[in-house]
Structure 1
Amino acid sequence: MDAGPLRVAMIIGSTREGRVGDAVGKWFTGRAEQREDLVTEVLDLVDFDLPTGLPEQPTRDMKRFVRLVDEAEAFVVVTPEYNRSFPASLKQAIDCAYDEWRAKPVGFVSYGYRSQGLYAVEQLRTIFTELHTVTMRDTVAFNLLDGTFARDGTPFDTDGQGQAAITLLDELAWWGLALREARATRPYVC
């Protein structure tokens, strides 16, 4: 059984021009990289040319994304909220993989206006439940209207957001290691 750091994929879900998702993802990844029990890889959906419709045969970028999902042991999804939901680019990416998500933990970092992206997170929970993941109870959420962002979209460090990040990472590490051990001990039933 692997005893090294937990391999966490940080998925940046927005592909919109002018997005702040990459800055939010960088902020959160910086917190994760301070830990010795985690190693992170950023999967920014801007870097994948995923088709808008699922073709009969997967494309090279679809195969690459699925391989990276398979190699990861845990996930943090960074998502905006668009019209009380998450972006289509994120749904398309999620649907590229299936068994590769199974029996792994998923955490969420969201942002939006007023609701802080929490409507998007609630919808993502149902999707990831269908994929047999374990979603983390606690999240990190940002309100784009409250003045906690620099002009470049980077969140300012606040005690509340910093503590929320620690809590989420603690939960993700616990579940990730527990599920790593469980997957190594017995195949997942499904």
Structure 2
Amino acid sequence: MADPGHVDTFNRIAPRYDAKFGKDCETAHTVVLDWAAQAGLEPRSVLDVGCGTGKLLEEAGRRWPQARLYGVDPADRMVEIARGRLPGAELTVGRAERLPPADASVDLVVSTTAFGHWSDAPAGLREIRRILRPGGSVMIAEHAPPGVLLRLLLKAMGRLPRLYDVDGMRTLVADAGLTPERLETVPGTFVVTHATRNG
């Protein structure tokens, strides 16, 4: 099966990623972190799935200085840049479907603009449920599904990530054993999902 994450592409653009896509990513980061704050979360541990160059974790560390920071990304060049930015974080080359943390060990999992590139979204969400502490939260922000013309263009370019609307995300998180708490399409065309592990 072809890798939907285009790891080679992300490795190639890693040195330019923040300059090229930083504004889009910052919007998603802000939404996810603001939602976490609105939910009253004070995590002692934060895992970013698809951590890229580490910018979201960097901001999470500023907001929650008490939190232990973890990141996982399949692109080794992205992780290398993140390690330079976050020397105190535990950063791993890996995939959502096989996360390094132990069972019930993480308070908050975040993922922005990466979910559509996971090889197996249901398996990744089950892994998130496994590593979340009871009462822990996951916050995901991913681009909303494109319209027909853009979808055809992306497909022709071979770069069609799997994108879900609010109903699709609600079904995916519930099927993984997570409790959907808040799901919305926000300005900037992101679908944002907050779900929790209850028990």
TM-score of the two chains, using structure 2 as the length reference: 0.35
Q: Higher strand proportion, which one?
A: 2
TM-score of the two chains, using structure 1 as the length reference: 0.36
Higher RCO (Cα < 8 Å, 6 or more apart): 1
